[in-house]
Amino acid sequence: MKKIITIAISMISALMITSCVDLNLNPLSEGSSENWYSSASEIEMSLNDLYRTAFFPIDGTDWGDDVTYRSNTQFTFNGTLTAENGTIATYWQNYYKGIARSLRIIKNLDEKGADLGINAKTLEQYKGEAYFYIGYAYGMLAFRWGDVILDKTGMTLEEAYSASRSPKSEVLAFSYECFDKAASMLPTGYGGVQRATKGMAYAYKARMAIYNGDYATAATAAKACMDLGVYSLHENYQSLFTAKTSPEWIFVFKGDYSLKVYYWFDNDIQNILTRLAGGWGARNPGLELVCAYPCIDGLPIDESPLYNPKAIFDNRDPRMAMTIVPFAQPDSKCMKDGTYKPEDYAFFGFEHSPSPLANKVHRISDGALVNNTDSKACALHAAYNGFVFKKFSDPTNWIAANSWKGVNAYPDMRYGDVLLMYAEAMNEQGKCDQAVLDATINKLRERAYNGTGLEYPKVVAGDQAKLRTIIRTERFIEMAAEGHRYEDLIRWRIAEVVFNRPIFYLERTWSGNASWDGNLANTPPEYQKLAQNWLDGNYPIGGTPEIDENGIADVRYMAEKGYVVQATTRQFNPARDYLWPIPASDRLINENLTQNPGY
């Protein structure tokens, strides 16, 4: 429990908060907590350090069902969640470290702020930042663990050793109180300098509320953020994730080459990129995500007459081809009408096709045909499930010269998320009218369809249950691969559905020759079956899955049909796994800390 009240001051500022970017990531010197906070600069440095991923942890890329990684599993869905889990212990300890530091900052500012030469405006801002973090940390503690230790003033060591868990309702009430104080103290911006703002306080209060099922509070906080008039949607969905700055950003992390700090996909480029582009294509869009994108009439693929299961990218929501690298199939419109052009399906300079018959593809720069290492025609480990991410990809910086690292922004909170939270919170209260939809989901769809020449399918107010399906599906595809899917599955109480189904990928076979000549007679029978699946329009997926009321496809039939094979199992215990266990190390030294059920 010492870790709960220990204040670790190893200073690294690594954040971006507003749409203007002026980031200082230079490491700062260490100081002792006994004599720290003796100047405005020391307090500011302590606050800066809170804006790191240690204190704002980013979930694993493949904790949900939107991203898969070969046959690997995660503790979030493999049934191995225990009180000894190191990741869980780190989350717990760092939330409390951040809370302890913030409480100490507030205490010092209240007691001797004026003596430190800090003007009233800056003093108020510093306190607002500290209150913001406390609100965030307690909100996440309540979401992940339920009842937790609630420290409002700063515990002594003796108090920490004997502290017991407070009801979740009390923890959330204090979280909201801290967010409200932060919002009242913080400005809407700093003219290019990144720090916590009023809008950030509203946005994260909305997230903490919606994570914990408090829809009334979530709606009020999200609307307050919207009404500030500070944020707006980025003009183009795809370019949002490689932009240098954006009016949509509320809180983002950005890497730095000089400090060797990288985030999200930018820290795992080769697992994202295709093999022809220098990567391995091993971290892929989940099949549930592939099937979630509705057709351009707004209907899910199991209801839309526009869906062709043999041409899966045709007539789909434009965000699909902005998130997943598209490719043509034998039944695709461009193949049928003779308009196919390799450059229309280019990715990082090469024509992209996972077809088991495409042993050669075009290099776009000179039109030369090269061995297609992104197909099983030339590489055994190509096309794990046939799909590759396009979202976040950056041909300018994702190169070997940069050691396969990038410095694009990872948006922990963006305005599009606020709009989705507002729509969901209003619908769950039975208040989602046309005005709400036009201010939220319809704006997101309008942005997605910009430049396509198509009219976006407008969502019309109606039945609450039907709107719930639309909103959850919209959130799945709009926020795909942004690190929030696991929380959504948990808070909607549908993890037990998704995480008790297997993960699937393609049969682990190939032509057997890296320079295969295209003659199927010289390939194994298993490979000939894959080739036939492609010709029949059942590769990489086949048929039309049933989409449930949460927008999730059941793709198990594809294995029964022989289109895919099981990569790994998933296991989730609904009686236990919706809450994380209290770390065993803390319970060893505090007998008053009870454990969550099942651990």
Contact indicator for 308, 330 with CB cutoff of 8 Å: no
Instruction: Say whether both 422 and 494 belong to one domain.
Output: no
Q: Is residue 107 part of a domain?
A: yes
Specify the 3-state DSSP secondary structure of 251: strand
**DSSP assigned state of 60:** P
Contact indicator for 320, 390 with CB cutoff of 8 Å: no
Q: Is residue 252 part of a domain?
A: no
Q: Is residue 337 part of a domain?
A: yes
Biggest CA pair distance of the chain: 85
Instruction: Say whether both 309 and 375 belong to one domain.
Output: yes
Contacts of the segment 373-378: beta carbons below 8 A, 24+ positions apart: 373/275, 373/276, 373/514, 374/274, 374/275, 374/276, 374/281, 374/350, 376/506, 376/509, 376/510, 376/511, 376/527, 376/530, 377/510, 377/511, 377/516, 377/518, 378/510, 378/511, 378/513, 378/514, 378/515, 378/516
Q: Using the Cα atoms of residue 481, residue 486, residue 488 and residue 489 in order, give the sign of their dihedral.
A: positive
Q: Is residue 597 part of a domain?
A: no
CATH label of the domain that carries residue 95: 1.25.40.390
Alpha-carbon separation of residue 476 from 231, 393, 479, 489, 552 (angstroms): 22, 19, 6, 10, 9
Crossing angle for the helix pair 168-185 and 198-211, to the nearest 10 degrees: 160
Question: What is the reported pLDDT for 7?
Answer: 29
End-to-end CA distance of the chain: 19
Last residue of a domain, one of 433, 462, 486: 486
Question: What is the reported pLDDT for 113?
Answer: 82
Alpha-carbon separation of residue 451 from 247, 318, 332, 447 (angstroms): 20, 10, 21, 9
Instruction: Say whether both 423 and 442 belong to one domain.
Output: yes
Contact indicator for 172, 139 with CB cutoff of 8 Å: yes
Last residue of a domain, one of 140, 175, 196: 196
CA atoms within 13 A on the CB side of 370: 19
What region does 520 belong to: left with phi over 0, alpha with psi -120 to 50, or beta?
alpha
Calpha distance 425→434 (Å, rounded): 14
Contact indicator for 563, 543 with CB cutoff of 8 Å: yes
Instruction: Say whether both 287 and 310 belong to one domain.
Output: yes
Report H helices in 163-197.
168-185
Question: What is the reported pLDDT for 34?
Answer: 55
Token pair for residue 175? 């979280």
Q: What range defines the domain where residue 312 resides?
A: 276-391+487-568
Instruction: Say whether both 60 and 189 belong to one domain.
Output: yes
Give 398's strand partners. none
- By C-alpha distance, which of 208, 198, 250 is closest to 228? 198
Instruction: Say whether both 302 and 322 belong to one domain.
Output: yes
Instruction: Say whether both 91 and 140 belong to one domain.
Output: yes
| Amino acid identity, position 487 | E
Q: Is residue 403 part of a domain?
A: no
What number of other Cβ atoms are within 10 A of residue 396's Cβ?
9
Instruction: Say whether both 343 and 452 belong to one domain.
Output: no
Give 346's strand partners. 351
Q: Is residue 232 part of a domain?
A: no
Instruction: Say whether both 153 and 297 belong to one domain.
Output: no
Q: Is residue 248 part of a domain?
A: no
Instruction: Say whether both 465 and 504 belong to one domain.
Output: no
Q: Is residue 213 part of a domain?
A: no
Q: Using the Cα atoms of residue 55, residue 60, residue 64 and residue 65 in order, give the sign of their dihedral.
A: positive
Instruction: Say whether both 52 and 142 belong to one domain.
Output: yes
Last residue of a domain, one of 196, 212, 229: 196
Residues in Cβ contact with 589 at an 8 Å cutoff, skipping those fewer than 6 apart: 1, 161
Token pair for residue 238? 């795809």
Contact indicator for 477, 445 with CB cutoff of 8 Å: no
Strands (E), 145-286: 249-254, 283-285
Instruction: Say whether both 422 and 387 belong to one domain.
Output: no
CATH label of the domain that carries residue 462: 1.25.40.900
Q: Say if residue 548 is exposed, middle or buried (CB neighbours under 10 Å; 0-12, 13-18, 19+).
A: middle
Token pair for residue 393? 């990809």
Residue holding tokens 């954006």? Answer: 246
Count: domains in the chain: 3
- By C-alpha distance, which of 564, 150, 226, 135 is closest to 422? 226
Per-residue pLDDT of the chain (599 residues; tens, 9 = 90+): 444 433 232 222 333 333 333 333 333 334 445 567 778 889 999 999 999 999 999 999 999 999 999 888 899 999 999 999 999 999 999 999 999 999 999 999 999 887 888 899 999 999 999 999 999 999 999 999 999 999 999 998 889 899 999 999 999 999 999 999 999 999 999 987 779 999 999 999 999 999 999 999 999 999 999 999 999 999 999 999 999 999 999 999 999 999 999 999 999 999 999 999 999 999 999 999 999 999 999 999 999 999 999 999 999 999 999 999 999 999 999 999 999 999 999 999 999 999 999 999 999 999 999 999 999 999 999 989 999 999 999 999 999 989 999 999 999 999 999 999 999 999 999 999 999 999 999 999 999 999 999 999 999 999 999 999 999 999 999 999 999 999 999 999 999 999 999 999 999 999 999 999 999 999 999 999 999 999 999 999 999 999 999 999 999 999 999 999 999 999 999 999 999 999 999 999 999 999 999 99
